[in-house]
Amino acid sequence: MKLKRESIGNLGNEEIIKYSVDNEKGLKVSILNLGATITEIKTIDRNGEFGHIVLSYEDEKNYIENPSYYGATVGRTAGRIDKGRFTLNDNEYILNKNYGVNSGHGGSVGFNKKIWNVNAIETEEKITLEFSYLSKDLEEGYPGNLEIKVSYEITEDNKLIFKIQGVSDKDTLMNITNHCYFNLSGDYKEDILNHTLKMNCDRFLAIDENGGVTGEIIPVNNTEFDFIEEKKIGQDIEGSSKQMKLGYGYDHPFMFNENEKGNVELYDEKSGRYMKVTTEYPCVVVYSQNFIDGLVLKEGKETKKRNGICLEVQYPPIGYNESFKEFSILKAHEIFNKETIYEFGVK
């Protein structure tokens, strides 16, 4: 296990530091104190060759704006909040509408744009990077001083364990996710349309023309949204359903089967790489990179649509008439605690 720290620039008068962990068993991960953002994950393919498996900007300065939220910790709430407002205990809270008519991914200056405190813990079997941040009462319009800790554990057996903890002094909303775009082909050799995806999700949530959730829950069977059995991402992505057209591809929350832990499996047959995600969250937003920001990727690669797939494990976003709001409510002094495990390998 190796840990390296390096300064990559400044945000105002704060230093941006990159923490790079190599487990010396086939997994390399780099994370910034800026946004607790994963900038690189490299794993080996069937032939033992390392390659990038998440979209990473060539120019690390792009993480300051990070328009596509590459690898970022997104919060206080991931996804869109209908019309950028919500009520809690009879108070109305108004958020910044940074996604057209909606608020999205924590608002104009979300957690992805903050410098977090970092504590690195090294043992023989794992390295844990703990990131903490205090989001003040009414930051981006959300009530309560919220103390957050996210940690990434890189283990000897090629797992990345992502833990989210939080506590607030007032009732608030909390729905943090990580926003990596995965591409298991290695150094973006191919897009993700030939990757297979499998998820124990029997329902998905309808969206509208603004990408917001309407409140309607749709069973996946006999739809283009059925990934109960493993299926190529590209198989139905150009389908003619209204929901596929509204999203310009997949950009929908999927609900895990009730009373089952969330399981998502992504596999690229050519390279042999797989990733298994296990989560305590009840939902995963699948986003097939339907829009691009034009910024250059590592190895000088041009970014293209469907280059990566986001698997944002979270609570369902808040839709029309505050549908699904209950999931995201964190009561004052209650402890928020969620764990997601990403396991990497080849087969």
144 lies in the site for ligand BGC, by CB under 6 A: no
173 lies in the site for ligand BGC, by CB under 6 A: no
285 lies in the site for ligand BGC, by CB under 6 A: yes
Could you tell me the smallest distance in angstroms from the CB atom of residue 81 to ligand BGC?
13
DSSP letter string, 41-68: EEEE-TTS-EEE-B--BSSGGGGTT-TT
How many Å apart are CA 192 and CA 189, to the nearest integer?
Answer: 10
Q: Are strands 231-232 and 213-219 parallel, antiparallel or unpaired?
A: unpaired
How many Å apart are CA 201 and CA 253, to the nearest integer?
Answer: 10
Q: Smallest Cα–Cα separation from 155: which of 110, 123, 131, 189?
A: 123
For residue 133, say whether it is annotated as part of any ligand binding site: no
Could you tell me the smallest distance in angstroms from the CB atom of residue 285 to ligand BGC?
5
Which element (helix H / strand E) includes 247? helix 242-247
310 lies in the site for ligand BGC, by CB under 6 A: yes
71 lies in the site for ligand BGC, by CB under 6 A: no
Could you tell me the smallest distance in angstroms from the CB atom of residue 228 to ligand BGC?
22
Nearby residues of 67 by Cβ (< 8 Å), 6 or more positions away: 293, 295
Could you tell me the smallest distance in angstroms from the CB atom of residue 210 to ligand BGC?
10
312 lies in the site for ligand BGC, by CB under 6 A: yes
Its sign, for the CA torsion 61, 288, 249, 338, is negative
33, 39, 68, 112: which one contacts ligand BGC (CB under 6 A)? 68
For residue 252, say whether it is annotated as part of any ligand binding site: no
For residue 251, say whether it is annotated as part of any ligand binding site: yes
How many Å apart are CA 32 and CA 211, to the nearest integer?
Answer: 29
Give the interface segment with ligand BGC, choosing from 12-20, 145-153, 265-273, 283-291 (CB under 6 A).
Answer: 283-291
Total residues in contact with ligand BGC, by rule CB under 6 A: 9
Q: List residues with catalytic annotation.
A: 179, 312
Could you tell me the smallest distance in angstroms from the CB atom of residue 99 to ligand BGC?
7
Closer to ligand BGC by Cβ: residue 82 or 251: 251
Cα 181 from chain centroid?
Answer: 8
Between residue 189 and residue 228, which ones bind ligand BGC under the rule CB under 6 A? 211
For residue 180, say whether it is annotated as part of any ligand binding site: yes
How many Å apart are CA 146 and CA 114, to the nearest integer?
Answer: 14
19, 69, 116, 250: which one contacts ligand BGC (CB under 6 A)? 69
204, 287, 315, 324: which one contacts ligand BGC (CB under 6 A)? 287
82, 191, 251, 268: which one contacts ligand BGC (CB under 6 A)? 251
Q: What is the residue type of 217?
A: I
Give the interface segment with ligand BGC, choosing from 181-189, 223-231, 273-281, 284-292 (CB under 6 A).
Answer: 284-292
Closer to ligand BGC by Cβ: residue 68 or 307: 68
* Angle at the Cα of 251 from the Cα atoms of 249 and 254, rounded to 5 degrees: 120
Q: What is the residue type of 20?
A: S
List phi, psi (to 5°) of 219.
-65, 140
Token code pair at residue 37: 């953002």
How many Å apart are CA 66 and CA 113, to the nearest integer?
Answer: 8
Q: Which residues are annotated as a binding site?
A: 179-181, 251
Residues interacting with ligand BGC, by CB under 6 A? 68-69, 211, 251, 285, 287, 291, 310, 312
Q: Which residues are annotated as a binding site for beta-D-galactose?
A: 179-181, 251
